C-alpha cells in the first residue's frame, strides 16, 4: 500500500466520525415531527363519542401513543434508508471531497459571467431542435396517411361512380325490355287466346 492509499484510508476513517453526528441530527429532527400533535386535536371526536356512546376518551393517552408509534415508524424507515443505500460510506466520501476541495469553496465558476438563461441556451436550443425534428417526422407520417386516405377516397368514388353507371345501364335495359314487352303484349295475348281456343 503506497502513501496515497494510506492517507486516503486514514482520512476515510477519520471522517467517519461525522456519521453518528448526522444520524443524531436526523433522529432529533424526526423526534420533533409529531411534537405538535395535541389532545385538542381529538376534542371534537371525544365530544361526539361522549354524546352518543357515553364514553370518555383519554385524548392525552391516545396522542402520546400515536406520537410514539409514528416516531418509531419514521425512525425505522430512516434506519432502513441509511442501511439500504450505504449512506454512511457516501457521507464519508462526500466529507472527503469537501475537505479535498475546500480551497475552491466560494469561487465563482461562471467564468463568462453569463446569466442562467444564457448558460442554458445551448441546452434549450438542442431541445427545440429535437422538438422540431419530431414534429417534422410527425408531419411526414400524417402526409403519408393523408395520401393513402386520398387514394382510398378516389378509389371509393370511382367504385361508387361505376356502381351508379351500372344501375343506370340496367335501368335503361329494363325500360327497353318493358317497352318491347308492351309492344308485343297484344300479339302474345292473341296467341294465348288462339291456343286456348284450339283446345276447346
Neighbours of 86 (CB within 10 A): 10
Average the pLDDT over 173-191 and give the result. 80
Question: What's the average model confidence in pLDDT over 22-32?
Answer: 91
Write out the residue range of the structural domain in which residue 22 sits.
3-103
pTM of the model: 0.45
- The answer to whether position 110 is within a domain reads no
Q: Is residue 109 part of a domain?
A: no
% of residues, the chain, pLDDT over 90: 8
The reply to whether 88 and 45 lie within a common domain is yes
Same domain, 136 and 200: yes
**Residues 85, 145: one domain?**
no
Share of the chain above pLDDT 70, in %: 87
List of residues 6+ apart from 125 with CB closer than 8 A: none
150 in a domain, yes or no?
yes
Tell me the pLDDT tens digit for each residue of 85-135.
Answer: 888 888 888 888 888 877 766 666 555 676 777 777 788 888 788 878 888
Domain count, the chain: 2
| CA–CA gap between residue 70 and residue 62 (Å, rounded) | 12
Measured distance CA(20)–CA(24) in Å, rounded: 6
Domain assignment present for 66:
yes
Q: Are residues 78 and 134 in the same domain?
A: no
Query: Of the residues 68, 103, 138, which one is the last residue of a structural domain?
Result: 103
- Please name the residues in contact with 9: beta carbons below 8 A apart, sequence gap of 6 or more: 1
More confident residue, 19 or 194: 19
137 and 60 in a common domain: no
In a domain, 113, yes or no: no
- SS3 letters across the chain: CCHHHHHHHHHHHHHCCHHHHHHHHHHHHHHHHCCCCCHHHHHHHHHHHHHHHCCCCCHHHHHHHHHHHHHHHHHHHHHHHHHHCCHHHHHHHHHHHHHHCHHHCCCCCCCCCCCHHHHCHHHHHHHHHHHHHHHHHHHHHHHHHHHHHHHHHHHHHHHHHHHHHHHHHHHHHHHHHHHHHHHHHHHHHHHHHHHHHHCC
Per-residue pLDDT at 28: 92
Amino acid at each position: 500500500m503506497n502513501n496515497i492509499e494510506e492517507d486516503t484510508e486514514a482520512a476515510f476513517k477519520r471522517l467517519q466520525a461525522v456519521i453518528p453526528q448526522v444520524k443524531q441530527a436526523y433522529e432529533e429532527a424526526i423526534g420533533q415531527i409529531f411534537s405538535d400533535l395535541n389532545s385538542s386535536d381529538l376534542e371534537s371526536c371525544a365530544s361526539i363519542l361522549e354524546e352518543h356512546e357515553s364514553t370518555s376518551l383519554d385524548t392525552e393517552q391516545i396522542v402520546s401513543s400515536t406520537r410514539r408509534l409514528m416516531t418509531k415508524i419514521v425512525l425505522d424507515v430512516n434506519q432502513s434508508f441509511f442501511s439500504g443505500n450505504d449512506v454512511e460510506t457516501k457521507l464519508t466520501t462526500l466529507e472527503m471531497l469537501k475537505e479535498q476541495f475546500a480551497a475552491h469553496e466560494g469561487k465563482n465558476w461562471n467564468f463568462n459571467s453569463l446569466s442562467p438563461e444564457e448558460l442554458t441556451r445551448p441546452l434549450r436550443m438542442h431541445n427545440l431542435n429535437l422538438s422540431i425534428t419530431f414534429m417534422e417526422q410527425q408531419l411526414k407520417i400524417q402526409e403519408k396517411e393523408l395520401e393513402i386516405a386520398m387514394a382510398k377516397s378516389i378509389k371509393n368514388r370511382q367504385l361508387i361512380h361505376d356502381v351508379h353507371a351500372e344501375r343506370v345501364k340496367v335501368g335503361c335495359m329494363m325500360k327497353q325490355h318493358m317497352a318491347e314487352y308492351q309492344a308485343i303484349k297484344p300479339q302474345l295475348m292473341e296467341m294465348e287466346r288462339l291456343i286456348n281456343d284450339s283446345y276447346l
